[in-house]
Each structure stands twice: as structure tokens, then as C-alpha cells.
Amino acid sequence: MFAIVEEPIDVAALISSAQRPDCGAISTFVGTTRIDESGEASVEYLEYEAYRPMADRKLAEIGAEIEGRWDVRVVSIVHRIGRVDPGEASVAIVVASPRRGPAFEASRYAIERIKQVVPIWKREVWSDGYVWVGSQVGTRERAGLP
Amino acid sequence: MDDIKVLLFGAAADRAGTRETQVPTGETTLEELWLLLAERHPGLSPMRDTLAFAVNGEYARGDTLISPGDEVAVLPPVSGG
């Protein structure tokens, strides 16, 4: 299952739907929003946006790449967009495989590929402005932004 | 003459001051379209080396031919996850 959602990700449901009698391993990677601080300012939340439907298709392509490389029986990738509060899941990857090796490797591969090719962007919303992560464009003066 | 629809995301939308624009042009290349865009939205120019482009939802190089009716997306460095 590959999806971009605007509501909290139900990680437990993703895991239980990956349970199969022919698989001895389910690996789960959950990316959560981390709060950074600098000086007196701190990140209040992250806000994600996606170019759809390209982003949806790229998630499915990553799934196909994984199925071509490893013996996996279930690959689910769900990415959340919109406002994501501190500590909440922004992305969840669940891979079921007969053996643990491919499950671990494939979930690592999925998150690295997401960060390379899926057209999704996040901005950190700080108490004193925001910054687009990766572009360093935004409204925070303290970060030395234009 | 029909237009080419251009979508802008993330920092590129900020710099251009818009998330969507129409560029009136005949058949052209992505690189030529970029020059028209940068002329209209000078704030985008400093981002040039960091940007990727998509044509009709797939990554495309500067020499890709585009025609009226196509959808072009201006993509800053992705930062999902």
C-alpha cells in the first residue's frame, strides 16, 4: 500500500496488515518530527506539501524497485502531509519478508529513496518564522535568511 | 496560443510569489521556459542550480521538448521523510 495522507498514520494497522504466514519478519521504520532549538527560538511543528499525483507514483515506484531487489511479500509506504506536530509520524514504512535481512535492508532503502526522489517538501515552522528544509529559504531572520 | 501550465512548490513558490502560473509560448524546451520564468519571477534565479523540473509528472532534463497543454513543475530539493 502506497499512500499520501493528511491525517495521523495508523502504524499499528499497517503492521497488522503485513502479517503473513509465509513471512518471518516485518520491519517497520517510522520517521517522526524532531524539534530543533537555536537560541530562544524553537520549531513548533513541521508542515509538508507534495506534488501529487507524481509523489504518489514515486512511492509506488520505490515499492517496485524493492520488489525487484529483495524477496519481500509486503511493502507499505505512507507519508503524511500538512501540519505534523512534534513527535508525530510523518512517514511509515512496513516491509514483510520471509527473512529479516531483506526486511531490514528494504526498509532502509525505502527511506533513503524517499529523500532522493519523492516530490515532498517540509518547512520547519519556528516561533519566529519558517524555513524550507533543504532550500534554506524562509522568513526566519535569525537563521540568516534573506 | 495555448499556455504551458507551471506549478511551483516549496521554496520555489515562495521565491516566485505564486504557486501556479501560465506561460504563453509555443513548443519550446524546458531550458527556454526556465528563462521566461526567471524573467517574470527574478526571485527564482538564485535557486537555479538547486532546482529540478518535471514535465507531466516525471523528472525531465533541460533539453526536453514541451508544448502548450503540458504541465511543468518547478521542484526545489525534496525534503520528505
Domain limits, chain B: 3-75
How many structural domains is chain A composed of?
A: 1
B5-40 pLDDT tens trace: 999 999 999 999 999 999 999 999 999 999 999 999
> Taking the domain B3-75, which CATH number applies?
3.10.20.30
Pairing of strands B71-75, B3-8: parallel
CATH number of A70's domain: 3.90.1170.40
ipTM of the prediction: 0.95
Indicate the residue of B11, B75, B81 with minimum beta-carbon distance to A90: B81
Q: What is the chain A residue with the closest CA to B75?
A: A119
Closest Cα to residue B31, out of B60, B7, B68?
Answer: B60
Whether A132 and B73 lie within 8 Å, measured CB to CB: no
Query: What local confidence, expressed as pLDDT, does residue A141 receive?
Result: 66
The answer, for B15 touching chain A at a CB cutoff of 8 Å, is: yes
Q: What length does chain B have?
A: 81
Closest Cα to residue B72, out of B31, B44, B40?
Answer: B31
Better pLDDT: A138 or A69 = A69
Closest Cα to residue B81, out of A8, A96, A116?
Answer: A116
Residue A125: inside a domain, yes or no? yes
Given a cut of 60, whether residue A7 has pLDDT beyond it is yes
Distance from CA of A41 to the nearest CA of B (A): 21
A43-68 pLDDT tens trace: 999 999 999 999 999 999 999 999 99
Residue A52: inside a domain, yes or no? yes
| DSSP codes joined into one string, A17-75 | TT--TT-SEEEEEEEE----EETTEEEEEEEEEE-TTHHHHHHHHHHHHHHHHS--SEE
Residue A136: inside a domain, yes or no? no
